[in-house]
Structure 1
Amino acid sequence: MSLRPSRVLSVCQHVLVSRRLLILLVAALVVVAAVLIVWRPWDGCDAPDELCNAVDEVEKSSDVVAAAVSYDVTRADPKDGDGAIAGWTVRLADDLTPYRAGAAAQRADAIIRRQHVPGVELHHFIDLVAGEPEQRTGKVLIYPVDVNPGSDPADRTTRAFDLWQHGATRVSTGAAEAADLDGLSALAAYAAARGYPTSLATTDGSVRYETTAPVAVEQVQLVLDTARLSDVATVVRYNTGQLSVHTTSPDGSTGTEAIKRWIEQRRPPGGDPIPYTLTSPGYADVQEGWVGNVRPPAPKPHPVPLPAGVRPWPKGASAPTCTGTDLKITLSGPDAASGRRFLALFARNVSDRPCAVKGVPTVRFFQADGAQQTDVTTVDSTPGVVATRVVVPPGEELIATLEWGATSIIDDADATASLRVTAVPHSRPTRLVPRDDRGPTTLDLADGARVQISPWAQAAEGWTKR
C-alpha cells in the first residue's frame, strides 16, 4: 500500500506541530519551576525561610493588617552556632475592641515565639503597633500604639488599646501621652479608675508623671497644678516620688521665687513628704526643698552601715588614736551617675599595731596653678550619719566618700587638679592628684560647688574602683 504525497505531507506537518507544542510545554515548565524557586509569597522578606513563613502565618489573622521581620546576625560561630535577632513588627487593625486586640496580640506572639532557625541561637523582639504612623527622624515610624508584649501580650495590648480609645494620643509599653493638660487630667482619671500602672506625659514631654504603680490622681494633680503656674517650663514627677520643676525665669527672679513659695505652701498629697528641686535656665542653681514644707522625720543618729556579710573590726577600747604617720592616704578613681560625681579617700594603717580614728577628713581643693578653691563648701554626707570610733587593724583601710553635683566648667583652669587631705587632726596634709585609666585628670568642681563628705568608716572590698 502506498501513501499519496498529500497524505505524507499532512502526517509530517502533524508530527512537527506536536514536537513544537512539546518543546513549548517543556520550556513553560522550566520557567514555572524557576519562578517557584526564586519567587516567595513574602515579597521583600530578607530573613530565613522559617521566619518568612511565619510572617505569612501571622498575616492570615483577620485582625492583623500587616507583619514584617528583620534578621540580624549578632554572632557568627561555625563551631557552636550563630546568634541572631529577629525584629518583628505586627500591625493590628485600628478598629478592634481592646479585648479583641489583646487576643490578636496573644495569637501573633504565640506564632512568633515558637519560631526557630536550625543551628542559630535566636532572640525575638516584637513590636505590636496600631494606628497611622508618623515619620520622624530619618525613616523611623512612630505609631499611636506601640507595645512590647513582654510576658503578657494580651494584657499589655488590651490596656494600650483601652487608653488609646479613651483619649491617649500615643501609647507605648507602660506609658501614655495626651495632647494637653486637660487631656492628661482626663486620661489620669481613667487610668486610675482602671488601676493601670501607667506613666503619663504631654505629647511635647514638658509635663511627665512617672510610675510603676497604679496611677494616683492626687499626685498627677500636683504635677498639673504646678505646670499651670507662670514661668514653669517643665514638670516631672519621677518614679522615686521627687518633683522636678524647671522655670523660664532666671535664678533669684520674682518668678522663680513665686514658684518656690507656691510649692512650699501646697499641701502634699496624703500629707506625705515629697522632695522637690527647682532649676532655672542654665541649671546654674539648684534649689531643693519639700512640697508644703512637710519634711520626713529626722533619722536617728547612726554610723556608716557596713554591707551585709561584712564583719566589723574589733572595737579595741585600749587602742591609741591614729597619728598622721600611722595612715597612708590614697584616692580612688572618679565615678559618675545621674548627674552626680563620686570619689573615695582611703586611709591604710601602715603601723604595726591597731589604732583608732573618729571624725571626718578635712579636704581642700586646688586648681592647676596651685590656687585653692575657697568657694567650695563641704557638708555632711547623709542626714543621720555620724562619726564613730573605728579601730583599724594593721594593714586594713578606712574609707571616706565625697559626692557632688556635676558643675559646668567653662575654662579647664578652673577645674580641681589636686586635693589636700588631713586625715586626722594635727597631721600633715597629703596632696593627692585624681587619676583615671588614662592618667592624671581633673574634677568638675567649680567655685560654688557643694561637696558631701562622709566620716571615716571601715572599708569593704569592692566599695569603689581604684
Structure 2
Amino acid sequence: MKSLRAEAFGIALALVAAVLLIWKPWDSCNAPNEVCSFASAVAQQEGLLGYQASAGTVEHDALAKPELAVQLQFVLSDQLDAAQAGALAEQLAQQVQGKAAELRWARTELSLVAGTAEQMQGLDRKSYPLEVAESFAQDARNEQEKPVELGKTAAFAFSMHHLGAPEVRNYSATANSLEQFLVLGKSAAEQLSPAELAVRDSFISYSPGRPSDYSEIELIAEAVRSGRVQSVRIAGSGLEMTVHEMEPAGRAKDIQKWLDQHEALNRPMPYRLFSHDYSEILEGWVGGMKPDWLIPKPVDLPENIEAWPQDPAASMCAADDLQIMLGSPDAATGSRYMSVYAKNISAHACALRSYPQIDFLNEAGEPQQEVQLQPEPGIMLERVLIPAGQAAISTLEWNAMSTSLDPDQTVALRIRAAKAMASDTLTPEYDGQPVSLDILDGATIAQSPWAQARDGWATAQDALKPSSPNAARP
C-alpha cells in the first residue's frame, strides 16, 4: 500500500511540475504588447523558468515624442552550471540588445535572477539570492561588449551561488562564515575575477577593484583568526584593520610588527592600522614590500644631458659659493609646480647633498603655518657635484589651494641650500612681474633633493638665461 501511495505522490509531483512549466506562474508583463510578446518568446528557451516585464516612458524634451524605457527580468534555473549560465546570459543579452535597437527603446534594463525568491517586505517585488544585471541604451558606449561581459558576470555569480553564497549581486558575494569566505575567495582568484566578498553580519570584506588574489584573502583570515582585530577590509586603497576593543593599550604596535614581518604578498599592499578608539593610526606595507615608485632611485636625466663629472675629493658648497634663484611658477589642473636653482658662482666645483630648506612667507613677512615639505617619493638623495658656472635644480609640487576668501598667500620664499647655510629671500616672478603662490597655512609640498637636472623640467641653463631668469617649467 505504501509503495502505491509513494508512486501516486510521485505522479502528482510530476503533474504539478508539468503544469508549472506550461503555466509558469512567475510570468507577468506590464508593458506594451511588443515588449510582452518578445519577453514571452524569449522565456521559452531551455534553462529559463519565467519572466517579468514592465515599461515606462522617457521624455528628453517637451516637444519630442516620449521614448520607451523597458525593464526585463528572466528567472534562470539554478540547476545550470556556471558555463551554461554564462552562455545563456550572453545569448539573452544579445537578443535583448537586438530587439532594443530594432524597436528603438531608449533604455533597457536586463536582470537575470536565480534561486528561491522571497517577497520583499512592503514592496511589490521579490528578492532572489542571485541577480546579475546590465543596461542598454541607444547612445551608450561599448554596447557591443556588454553581452560578453554579462556572460562573464553570470558565470561568476553562478559559481559563487553553487558554492553556497547566500547572496550574489554581479561580482559581489556574501559568505555565511570565514571558512566559506575563503572558499569563495579561492574560486574568485582562480577565475581572476574582480570579486567583492564579505562575511555576513561582520566587519570583514574584500573589494580590491582588480582581479582577486587569494594571498590577500588569506591575510584577512589570518588577522581575524588571531582574535586581535574587530574589523578587517581590503579595498582599492589597501588593507585597513581596527584593533579589538578588548585588546590592551599599545597592542597596535604588536600587530604592526606582525604585518611588517609577514610574508610579502604577490603585490605591494599598504596598510592602515587603527586602535579601537582611533587615537592611534599606524601605516606601512605588508611584508615591507613597497611599489617600485616608492623605492628611491637616482634622478632620471633628460636624454640630451650628459652627467657632470664626479670628484669624491671635491668640497661641499659653502653659502658664498651659491646663488639661489627661482624658476617661474607653472600650473596644470589642480596642480602647481616651481623649480629652485643653486648656481655655483665660485671658481671651483662644489657639492650638495641635501634638500633646500624653505620658509613660505606671507605679505607680513611671516612664515605660513604648518606647511609640510615632504621628500618626493622614489627619488634618492645623492651627492651632486656642481661645476663652476653650472646650477643644480630642486623641484616643488603642490595641490592648488582655495583663495576664495582672500587668505594670506605666499609672496616670497626664504631659502637655504642646506641646513647650515645662510638664507636668501626671493620673490616668485612670471614674465618679469612678481606673483603670489597659493601656498597657504597647512599646505603640503613635495620637493626633490638637489640634482643636476630632471626629465620634464626646464634645465638650469635654459631657466637661468640672462634674458629670461625665471623661465617656466615646460
State the TM-score, normalizing by the size of structure 2.
Answer: 0.58
Q: 1:302 to 1:68 in 2, by over 3 A?
A: farther
Change (3 A) 1:225 1:66: same
Alignment of 1:320-339 (within 5 A): 327=326, 329-330=328-329, 332=331, 335=334
Relative to structure 1, the CA distance from residue 454 to residue 304 in structure 2 (aligned partners, 3 Å threshold; closer, same or farther) is farther
Residue number among 114, 117, 120 corresponding to 1:130 in the alignment: 114
Instruction: Indicate whether 1:291 and 2:283 are aligned.
Output: no
Shift of 1:376: 4.7
Letter in 2 for 1:128: L
Maintained 8 Å contact 1:177/1:200: yes
Is 1:106 the counterpart of 2:95? The answer is: no
Change (3 A) 1:268 1:55: same
Partner of 1:96: 79
Q: Which residue of structure 1 aligns with residue 260 of structure 2?
A: 264
Query: How many residue pairs were aligned?
Result: 375
**Percent sequence identity over aligned pairs:** 17
User: Residue type of the partner of 2:73?
Assistant: V
- Given the superposition, is the C-alpha separation of residues 94 and 84 from structure 1 closer, same or farther in structure 2, using an over 3 Å criterion? same
The whole-number CA distance in structure 2 between the counterparts of 1:83 and 1:347 is: 58
Q: 2:215 aligns with which of 215, 218, 242?
A: 218
Whether the 8 Å CA contact 1:59–1:67 is kept in 2: the answer is: no
SS at structure 2 position matched to 1:96:
coil
The residue that corresponds to 2:317 in the other structure is: none
* Offset at residue 424 of structure 1 (A): 7.5
Indicate how the Cα distance of structure 1 residues 106 and 429 shifts in structure 2: closer, same or farther if over 3 A, else same. same
Give distance in 1, aligned partners of 2:242 and 2:95. 47
When the two chains are superposed, the root-mean-square deviation of aligned CA atoms in Å is 5.5
CA contact (8 A) 2:379 2:448 kept: no
Using the alignment, how far apart are the partners of 2:125 and 2:274 within structure 1?
Answer: 33
Corresponding residue number in structure 2 for 1:354: none
Quote the offset at 1:202 in angstroms. 2.0
Distance change >3 Å, CA 103–CA 333, structure 1 → 2: closer
Looking at structure 2, the residues matched to 181 and 223 of structure 1 have their Cα atoms a distance apart, in angstroms, of 9
Indicate conservation of the 8 Å contact 1:42/1:56, yes or no.
Answer: no
Q: Tell me the equivalent position of 1:147.
A: 132
Alignment match, 2:396: 400
Distance 1:156 1:263 in 2: 34
Match of 2:183 in 1: 186
Q: Secondary structure at the match of 1:244?
A: strand
Distance 1:368 1:234 in 2: 48
Identify unmatched segments of 5+ residues in structure 1.
1-40, 307-311, 336-342, 350-357, 391-396, 407-412, 436-440, 462-466
More off after superposition, 296-305 vs 366-375:
366-375
Aligned ranges for residues 414-453 of structure 1 at < 5 Å? 418=410, 421-422=413-414, 425=417, 426-430=423-427, 445=443, 452-453=446-447
Question: 1:418 Cα shift?
Answer: 4.9
Counterpart of 2:432 in structure 1 is: none
The structure that has the greater radius of gyration is 1
For the 8 Å contact 2:171–2:194, the answer to whether it is kept is yes
Q: SS state of the match for residue 30, structure 2?
A: coil
Q: In the TM superposition, what is the alpha-carbon distance from 1:178 to its structure 2 partner?
A: 0.8
1:164 to 156, 161, 164: 161
1:379 matched residue in structure 2: 374
Q: CA deviation at 1:51?
A: 4.0
2:53 is matched with 68
Give the distance between the partners of 2:71 and 2:336, measured in 1 at CA. 46
> Given the superposition, is the C-alpha separation of residues 285 and 103 from structure 1 closer, same or farther in structure 2, using an over 3 Å criterion?
same
Contact 1:105–1:157 (CA under 8 A) maintained in structure 2: yes
Alignment-mate amino acid for residue 277 of structure 1: R
Alignment of 1:233-244 (within 5 A): 233-238=230-235, 242-244=238-240
Q: Is the 8 A contact 1:246 1:279 kept in 2?
A: yes
Aligned counterparts of 2:230 and 2:361: Cα–Cα separation in 1: 37
Matched, 1:275 2:267: no
Deviation at 1:156, TM superposition (A): 2.8
Query: Which digits, 9 at most, give the CA deviation of each residue in 1:402-426, with x for residues without a partner?
Result: 379x9xxxxxx9x996585357845
Once the 2 structures are TM-superposed, how far is the Cα of residue 68 of structure 1 from its aligned partner? 2.6
Of residues 27, 51, 55, the one that matches 2:39 is 55
- Equivalence for 1:44: 30
Give the Å deviation of 1:183: 2.0
Give the TM-score taking structure 1 as reference length: 0.59
Q: Residue 73 and residue 362 in structure 1: after superposition, are their counterparts in 2 closer, same or farther (change >3 A)?
A: farther
Q: Deviations over 1:20-75 (max 9, x none)?
A: xxxxxxxxxxxxxxxxxxxxx97532x7x644543333344461432335456374
Residue equivalent to 1:198 = 195
Q: 2:125 and 2:29 mapped to 1: Cα distance?
A: 21
Structure 2 portions without partners, runs of 5+: 1-26, 135-145, 309-320, 342-351, 387-392, 418-422, 429-434, 459-474
**Do the aligned partners of 1:235 and 1:244 also contact (CA within 8 Å) in 2?**
yes
User: Match for 1:208: what amino acid?
Assistant: S
Task: Give the aligned residue type for 1:346.
Answer: M
SS of match in other structure, 1:115: helix
Q: Deviations over 1:299-348 (max 9, x none)?
A: 46332688xxxxx777798xxx9966x6465474884xxxxxxx423359
SS in 2 for 1:111: helix
Partner secondary structure for residue 221 of structure 2: helix
